[in-house]
Structure formats: C-alpha cells, structure tokens
Amino acid sequence: MKKKSWNKKVRGSFVCVLLGIGLFLSLFMPPVLAQQKLSATIYFDYSYYLTNNGPITTPPPEDSNFKNNYFNFRRVYFRYDNKINDNLSFRLTFDGDYVKAVDASGKKDDKFRPYLKHMYLQISNIIPNSDIKIGMADTITFKLAEDRWGYRSVAKTLLDGYKDIAGEDIDATSADVGISLTGKIARPLRYGLMLTNGAGYSHPEGDKHKKLMGQIQLIPMAGVSMVGYADYEKQGPGAKAVTYKGDIYIEFIRNLTLGAEYFIYRNDLNLQDTERYDRSGFSIFSRYNLIPEKLNLFARIDRYEPSNHAENDEIYLMIAGIDWAPLNSTFRLQPNIWVYNYTDPLKKNDVILNLTFLMTF
Amino acid sequence: MDKKKRHSVKKIMARAGRASLFLALSLLFMHHQLTAQRKMIQIKGSDTMVNLVQILAEEYMAKRPGAAIAVLGGGSGTGITAIINGTCDLANHSREWKTKELDLAYEKGVRPRIFAIAVDALSIVVNERNPVDKLTMVQVGSIFRGEIKNWKVVGGIDQKISLYGRQSNSGTYSFLQEHVLNNKNYSQEVKEMNGNAQIIEAVSRDEAAVGYVGVGYLLDEFGQLRKGIKVINISKDENSPEYSPLDKNSVYSARYPISRPLYQSTSGKPSAAIADFIKFELSPEGQAMVEKEGFFKISKELMAANEKNLK
C-alpha cells in the first residue's frame, strides 16, 4: 500500500515537472514555423413544423410523440491548413455528422462522429495559373454554386442536397478521392477537370470505374459568369451515368448575388419498364447584403423532378431567411423558413421554420 | 372548400403569421444597428498602414462631426478580399493587386479604383548588438531565402541568423518576396509574426535576429529609434553606396532601393463620403500627417493618378 502511494506521489511530481517544462517551453519557444491554420465551422438548428399535414410534417397515427420541434446538430468541420510555401500546401478536414454504427455486440447507435472529409495536397502554378489537388478534395461539381449561394449552413445547393429533398440519388458528392486541375486560360475563361473514384468521401471505392468531371466558366463581362459542367462514369457493361449542368451567376450589382442552375442526370441503370428515366433539377437563388458581414437576406426556389417519366412527382422548395451577426462574424443567427410544395395533388405543403446557429473560428 | 380544409388553411395561416411576426421583430431589433452601420466607413487591410490610417481617420472625424470611420488591420490580402466581397468600403494595401485577386474581382463584377496615399521605405532591422550595418539587396534576398544562414558570411559574428517575417496575407511579405527575393520562396525558418510591432519586439530581444518592417514602425512617439533595434543601410549592389530608409532625401530621390507606395482601393467609383476622406488624406494637411508618422509623401505623378481615379 505504502509503495503504491509513493508511486502515486512520484507520478504526480513527474506530471508536475512535465507540466512545468511544457509551460516554460510554451512561453519561451519561438512561434510555430510555416503557415499553419486551425479553423472550425459548426452549425445546428432548432426546427419547428408550422404544418402538420404534409408528407414530412404529418404525425404518424401510431406516434403520439411525433417530433415536430427539435434541435438538430448538423455539421462540425475541423480544418487544418498547412502552407508549406506559396506553391505547396495541404489540408486536412474532419467532418462531424450523425453516423450510424453497429458495434461488435450488435448494438446500434447514431452518434455524432468525426470522419475525414479532406486530405489533399495542393500544388500551384506547375501549369501557369493553375492549381492541382491530389487526394480527398472538394469536387468541382457544385463548388462555384455553393460559393455564390453562401448559405451551406442553411441548405445544401441543388445537386448537393438532391437526395435529401427528393429522396433519389444523383451520384453527386461534395468531396472525393482523386486528382483535380483548375485554372484559367484567360481572365474571362476558367476551367476545371477532375478524375475521382466516384464513390465520394463517405465510401471506399466500390468498382474499377472512375468518374471524370469537366467544367468551363465563361465570364463575358465583369460580374456575369456562365458555367457549363459535365461528368461521366461507367456503371457496368454497356451502362453509363452522365450529368449535364449549366449555371449563371450575376454579381455586378453591389451587395446582390443572383444565381441559377439547371442539371439533368442520366443513368442507364435507372429504368422504368425497360426505359431509362432522367432526373433533373432547377434552382434560382439570391442573397443581399444589407449591412456587409452583419445583416444579409437570402432566398431560393428549387424544383426537383426525380423522374421525367413519372407524373406529379415534382417538388418545389422555397427557402427564405435572414443572416444576422449580432456580435461579430464568428457567430451568426439565421432564422429561415422552408416551404415544400408538391405537384402531387394528394400531398399538402410542408412548412418548417428553422433557427440556424452558425459559429466559425 | 370543406370545413376540414378551411380549418387546416387557417392553422397554416396562423403559424405562418407567427413566423412572419418573429421575422419582423428580428428585423426591427436589428434596425438601429442597420442605420448606424450604414453611415460608418469601414476600412480594412494592411497592418503597415493601420496606425497611419487610424490617425488620419481620427483627425478627419474631428474635423467633420458626424463622420464615422472604423479602421481594422488583418493584412493587405484581407483588405483586398474584403473589397472583392463587399465587406469593407476601403482597403488598405501595401502591395499591388495580385493577378488572382484581379481575376476574382472581375468574376464578382468589382472594378477596383486604386489610390496611393503615402510612400513607405521597407526597412531591414537587426538587434542593436549586431555589428552588421549594411547589406546589399542580393544579401537581403539570400538571407530571407535561407541561403545565407550565418551572420559571419555578411561581416557579422559567427552566429546563426534568426529570421522574422510576416504571414502571406501581408503586403510587406509579398512586396519583399517580389522585389528582393526575386519571387522565390521564403526560408522555412522564418518565424511568421502577426504584425510590424511584433517583429520589432522580437528583433529587439533576439541578438541574432533580422526582420522587415514598414518605416513608420522604426521610431517611437518621441521620434527616437525604438529601443533594441538597428536599421540596416541597403545598397542596390556591392558597388553602389548604401542608404538608410530614415534618410528622407534618399527615399524621395529613389536611391533607397526598397521603397513602395501605400495604397487604398475602393470598389468602383468612391462614394462622396469616401472620396472626401481620400481627398483629406491627399491634402497638404493629410500628407503632413503622413510624414509625421514616419512615412513619406506621394509624388506629383501619383497625385495626378489619384485625382484621375477620384473622378
């Protein structure tokens, strides 16, 4: 017993000495070399259903405790950037989300878990005016639209959130493992090319086929961008999936951003009565800075068509809200309202009010 | 419309009404902030310029009751990005716009107007105990690229050189890299500090140190060289005479080899309020304040370009 307590004492002193050395070093060591940056983005909502008879908001008859208001932690990004020099850098991002898991005993849970979103090396100017990313990086599919929309904390852009809204997959992912090349040919002409495994960052590669993406951005006048995008991935013998997308962004009006995007997704494996059906979507969005970095307004209308062969399956989604930074831009309150309208006459509207909290550092 | 449906529509309307009321109250609550913020001129950017522009702004506000100006640092890159994103009215920057920034501005429909408001002599400082008094441009470049690692190579004592610099969003970092390091990378050994004041502080404590700062940071409030540092004289090459950044004549005659204009940019033609502040900075009174703060007045050519940009 005595020996144990003596060991404890020694261990305690040892820890104290280590802490002391650590404190001393942290005070007198020079600052960290190279440019390293840790940053984080966190957002969560309080949601309240304003309707109770739409497909989302109707309480099931057997569930008297149906969740019609709730807190929802949606994302946490922890990001580490290391700029080795002006032409070489790398990024590591951990994304946090509810991830379902089953442990060895078969116990299931859906805890908020971190997983890897980015892990890439960026090399600039090997080809003049270009950036090459190698590893798990943002895809070029909706990066431009997301930058213009600017409210990822409130809603994903059309392609990114298609599955969440329409319930149908269009094979679009925000990050994937592969290699990308983006750059400019001239000031009004930019390009992007990317080759990835096609499975996205949340799955290991499942087949031998790769996904090829290409994009051209034309800026005919300052503040007006037209973007053409296409991707291709072989799905198996004689089958392929392609996406075509066109975007327009108007940004020359001070404090106002307007954007529109349309896409069509064709997958030879999507068959209805042996005939292929296509999925498509359309989105118009805008944001206006009332007081830059303090108070902004945003609004968006999306149209989702999960199948061009199905009748009355279209969904319209309208989102509008306010983005307010009450103290400084690291903490923002974003009250927003979502209205779902269905072309199916049997489905009534869903109206949901969200209060989104966004924090960055 | 049947009874059930009418009841449901009523319910939705009531809930939507409550939501609208909530949004309206939020807007009302923000309204006073909105009106106050709209009037304020927001300036962001260069750390080298932040003290100078703050003093100019204070003087301007004293002369124009009701005018409100907020000046923030963050680095030239931060200021230029803020102008592109529409989050400030005036960007301070101690370097020219980079091609990437001009490309982004074009994409976003921002047509910058650029004004030179002062001239800075970029100064190389060492610890006061360092025996080295002068360096050539080539030697400065080699030191910050990490090719010369010991002070004895440039006439000092046998001691490893300790490098202090800025982060890449700093205009001073970019200017030195472009004009002295021949666009090559800085040494990995450079300790990146947040601002000029931190570099001065670090150099004054480290006998083996060398750093670079704007000339306005060399002197204290009494016009004396700050304690613990020495300003290095710079020559274009081995055969040229060396000059000090503190020597007005050598800077005005462009014999001091690393001087640069300090700029401000607006998005498009400046508004009347912003133009009035810029005019004050460019006035004889404003330029006298520039000199008092340790920087230098702008030339007639730069003044003529400014006047053209104000129209």
The DSSP annotation for A64-92 comes to: TT--SEEEEEEEEEEEEEEEEETTEEEEE
Q: Which residue has the tokens 């001129």?
A: B41
Q: Strand B191-193 and strand B209-213: pairing?
A: unpaired
CATH of the domain at B84: 3.40.190.10
Structure tokens at A156: 């994903």
The CATH number of A33-360, from 2.40.160.10, 3.30.1300.30, 1.10.10.10, 1.10.3720.10, is 2.40.160.10
Cβ-based neighbours of B128, under 8 Å, separated by 6 or more: B204, B227, B228, B229, B230
Nearest to B37 among A34, A83, A294 (CB): A294
Q: Are A79 and A91 in contact (CB under 8 A)?
A: yes
Q: What is the ipTM of this complex?
A: 0.79
**Number of C-beta neighbours around residue B157 at 10 A:** 13
Q: Which residue has the tokens 């993406």?
A: A213
Tell whether B102 and B217 lie within a shared domain.
no
**Backbone dihedral angles phi then psi of residue A126, each to the nearest 5 degrees:** -65, -45
Question: Over chain B, what is the mean pLDDT?
Answer: 89
The DSSP annotation for A270-339 comes to: EEETTEEEEEEEEEEEEEEEEETTTEEEEEEEEEEES-TTSSS--EEEEEEEEEE-SS-TTEEEEEEEEE
Tell whether B226 and B135 lie within a shared domain.
yes
CA dist., res. A122 & res. A134, Å (int) = 7
Tell whether B223 and B269 lie within a shared domain.
no
Is the residue at B220 inside a domain? Answer: yes
Is the residue at B147 inside a domain? Answer: yes
Is the residue at B15 inside a domain? Answer: no
As averages over each run of 10 residues, the pLDDT of chain B (311 residues) reads 52 57 57 58 94 96 93 94 93 94 95 95 96 96 96 96 92 93 90 93 96 94 92 94 93 92 95 96 96 93 93 88
Structure tokens at B97: 């716009």
Range of the domain at B130: 123-252
Is the residue at B96 inside a domain? Answer: yes
Predicted local confidence at residue B3, as pLDDT:
52
Which one of B27, B31, B41, B108 makes the best mutation probe of the A interface by having the most chain A beta carbons within 10 Å? B108
Is the residue at B26 inside a domain? Answer: no
Q: Coil, strand or helix: which one is B222?
A: coil
Tell whether B164 and B207 lie within a shared domain.
yes
Q: Coil, strand or helix: which one is B280?
A: helix
Structure tokens at A212: 């090829």
Tell whether B57 and B162 lie within a shared domain.
no
Q: Which candidate, B25, B18, B8, places its Cα nearest to that of A350?
A: B8
Contact A129 B99 (CB under 8 A): yes
Where exactly are the structural domains of chain A?
33-360
Tell whether B197 and B214 lie within a shared domain.
yes
Predicted local confidence at residue A18, as pLDDT:
45
Helix (H) or strand (E) holding A196: strand A189-196
Domain end, chosen from B211, B232, B252, is at B252
Tell whether B152 and B220 lie within a shared domain.
yes
**Number of C-beta neighbours around residue A241 at 10 A:** 20
Tell whether B48 and B115 lie within a shared domain.
yes
As averages over each run of 10 residues, the pLDDT of chain A (361 residues) reads 51 50 45 71 96 93 89 92 88 87 79 88 93 96 94 96 93 93 96 92 81 97 97 92 97 94 96 92 96 91 95 96 93 97 95 97 92
Predicted local confidence at residue B243, as pLDDT:
95
Is the residue at B14 inside a domain? Answer: no
State the total domains in chain B: 2
For residue A289, list chain B residues with Cβ-Cβ distance below 8 A: 86-87
- What is the residue type of A97? D
Which residues on chain A place their C-beta less than 8 Å from a C-beta of chain B? 30-31, 33-35, 50-53, 83-87, 129, 184, 187-188, 219, 222-225, 251-255, 289-295, 322, 324, 335, 337, 348-349, 351, 353
Predicted local confidence at residue A202, as pLDDT:
78
Tell whether B207 and B145 lie within a shared domain.
yes
Residue of chain B whose alpha carbon sits nearest to that of A327: B33
B182: contact with A, CB 8 A cutoff: no
**Backbone dihedral angles phi then psi of residue B62, each to the nearest 5 degrees:** -65, -35
Contact A252 B109 (CB under 8 A): yes
pLDDT one-digit tens code per residue, B215-257: 999 998 888 999 999 999 999 999 999 999 999 999 999 899 9
**Number of C-beta neighbours around residue B97 at 10 A:** 20
Is the residue at B105 inside a domain? Answer: yes
CA dist., res. A75 & res. A93, Å (int) = 12
Whole-prediction pTM: 0.81
